């Protein structure tokens, strides 16, 4: 276990109010560490899901009481708005599909929260993520580079949403439930009588009440962003096919909700917010071998151009063999284009288990027909 490399430690657990972080705190206590729990208050608006609701804070407090540890609440609402909510809105305005959970991990959980823990004198931060951090032993027996690995439960693996982390964070975190299956986590919580034992997992964007459906997103974005109707055009001929009510809500690869019946499977292959236009094409128009990436980060040393990797473009998506290029990755076989704004995680080619880094997909240059006169 990673934590054994540091002996007994002062541990700050990020208690989200869910079962995974509850069991992570329990395991830290059982290992004999000095444990304190803290819940981040991230969102001051309406919320009914995720780690931003009032009930989640209360559940975290009840878990802390059950475990006999102190519990605090850190107010990061301004920082959350700056680093997560505002970029979420701006991404839609630019025609990108943002990934707010990854940005929350990048800026809040494993930056601001971690830095506060260090300032308060804690040795480690513990979270309930289903992933693992291991150390490669050096020749002298000391711990070397911290490596981020997939969790043992493939159904719940969360290494993808942690793929933005670097050594500064990985050296200071412990992910105890990464060695367990979800069923084992719930069984441990039930055995200890934790109130979160049967609590459902959160599946939606935590700061959007009602989930992440187009209707819920529209309700959230309308007060913050001017939405515009967009013309739907045929990518082969440029013929106008219809109108979408809000071009900012369309995602590359989207098939449903475009208000067009063509008699064949057509997808959004380009979203041009500035031009108020959505271009449709068939599946072949979505296929690509080269994925351009911005904001590339590495979990350890940078990966050299030409290195074989496997890539994953969603939290529980399939992996695709590729190699690292100057601008991103080149896939060994064409696959559907990654929506601009989405994170692409890179794993080692041999085991597809060790996270090497990640980047954000960049829109491809338009190559389709102009709108017909």
Distance (Å, rounded) from C-alpha 134 to C-alpha 10? 19
The pLDDT assigned to 50 comes to 53
Sorted by where each begins, the domain ranges of the chain are 9-192, 228-373
| The pair of three-digit structure tokens given for residue 34, joined into one six-digit string | 């000095």
The pLDDT assigned to 296 comes to 96
Asked if residue 290 lies in contact with residue 269, where contact means CB atoms within 8 angstroms, the answer is no
DSSP symbol at 235:
T
Residue 296 burial (CB count, 10 A)? 18
> Is 104 one of the annotated active-site residues of the chain?
yes
Q: CB neighbours of 171 closer than 8 A, spacing ≥ 6?
A: 146
The pLDDT assigned to 10 comes to 97
Bridge partner residues of 365 (DSSP): none
Residue 167 burial (CB count, 10 A)? 15
Q: Is the dihedral of CA 325, 326, 327, 328 positive or negative?
A: positive
Q: Mean pLDDT for each consecutive 10-residue tract of the chain (373 residues)?
A: 63 97 98 97 69 82 98 96 96 94 96 98 98 84 87 96 97 97 98 95 79 82 94 92 93 88 84 94 93 96 97 93 97 94 97 97 68 52
The pLDDT assigned to 1 comes to 43
Distances (CA, A) of 91 to 114, 241, 320, 338, 359: 26, 26, 26, 15, 15
Distance (Å, rounded) from C-alpha 63 to C-alpha 314? 31
| The pair of three-digit structure tokens given for residue 147, joined into one six-digit string | 């490596």
Give me the catalytic one of 3, 51, 52, 104. Answer: 104
Bridge partner residues of 125 (DSSP): 12, 173
Helix axes 19-30 and 54-67, enclosed angle (nearest 10): 20
Long-range Cβ contacts of 260-264 (<8 Å, 24+ apart): 260/232
Out of 3.60.10.10, 3.40.50.620, 3.40.50.720, 1.10.110.30, the CATH code matching 9-192 is: 3.40.50.620
3-state secondary structure of 173: strand
Distances (CA, A) of 123 to 6, 13, 33, 242, 244: 9, 11, 10, 58, 52
Q: Is the dihedral of CA 75, 162, 142, 152 positive or negative?
A: positive
Distance (Å, rounded) from C-alpha 373 to C-alpha 368? 15
Query: Which segments of the chain are extended strands (E)?
Result: 10-14, 34-41, 71-75, 124-126, 131-137, 143-150, 173-174, 230-234, 240-244, 267-272, 277-281, 287-298, 308-312, 319-324, 328-336, 343-348, 354-361
To the question of domain 228-373 being in CATH 2.40.30.10, the answer is yes
| The pair of three-digit structure tokens given for residue 164, joined into one six-digit string | 């933005």
The pLDDT assigned to 364 comes to 75
Bridge partner residues of 231 (DSSP): 243, 277
Give me the catalytic one of 52, 101, 164, 206. Answer: 206
Long-range Cβ contacts of 243-251 (<8 Å, 24+ apart): 244/278, 246/218, 247/95, 247/271, 247/272, 247/273, 247/276, 247/277, 247/278, 248/92, 248/93, 248/95, 248/221, 248/273, 249/92, 249/214, 249/217, 249/218, 249/221, 250/95, 250/278, 251/97, 251/339
């Amino acid at each position: 276990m990673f934590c054994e490399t540091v002996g007994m430690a002062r541990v700050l657990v990020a208690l989200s109010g869910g079962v995974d972080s509850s069991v992570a705190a329990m395991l830290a206590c059982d290992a004999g560490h000095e444990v304190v729990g803290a819940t981040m208050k991230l969102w001051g608006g309406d919320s009914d899901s995720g780690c931003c609701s009032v009930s989640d804070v209360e559940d975290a407090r009840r878990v802390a009481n059950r475990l006999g540890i102190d519990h605090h609440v850190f107010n990061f609402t301004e920082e959350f708005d700056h680093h997560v909510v505002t970029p979420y809105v701006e991404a839609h305005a630019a025609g990108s599909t943002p990934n707010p959970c990854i940005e929350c991990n990048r800026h809040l959980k494993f930056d601001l929260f971690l830095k506060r823990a260090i300032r308060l004198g804690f040795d480690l931060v513990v979270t309930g993520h289903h992933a693992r951090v291991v150390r490669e032993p050096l020749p002298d027996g000391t711990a070397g580079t911290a490596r981020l690995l997939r969790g043992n439960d493939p159904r719940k693996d969360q290494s993808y949403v942690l793929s933005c982390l670097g050594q500064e964070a990985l050296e200071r975190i412990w992910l105890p439930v990464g060695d367990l299956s979800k069923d084992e986590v719930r069984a441990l919580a039930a055995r200890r009588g934790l109130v979160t034992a049967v609590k459902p997992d959160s599946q939606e964007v935590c700061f959007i009440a009602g989930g992440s459906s187009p209707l819920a997103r529209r309700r959230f974005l309308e007060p913050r962003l001017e939405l515009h109707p967009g013309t739907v055009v045929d990518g082969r001929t440029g013929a106008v096919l219809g109108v979408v009510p809000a071009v900012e809500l369309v995602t590359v690869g989207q098939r449903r909700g475009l208000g067009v019946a063509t008699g064949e499977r057509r997808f959004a292959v380009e979203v041009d917010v500035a031009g108020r236009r959505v271009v449709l094409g068939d599946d072949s128009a979505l296929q690509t071998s080269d994925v351009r990436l911005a904001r590339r980060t590495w979990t350890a040393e940078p990966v050299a151009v030409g290195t074989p990797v496997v890539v994953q473009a969603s939290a529980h998506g399939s992996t695709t063999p590729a190699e690292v290029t100057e601008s991103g990755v080149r896939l060994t076989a064409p696959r559907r284009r990654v929506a601009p704004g989405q994170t692409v995680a890179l794993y080692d080619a041999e085991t597809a288990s060790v996270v090497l880094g990640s980047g954000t997909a960049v829109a491809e240059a338009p190559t389709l027909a102009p709108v017909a006169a």
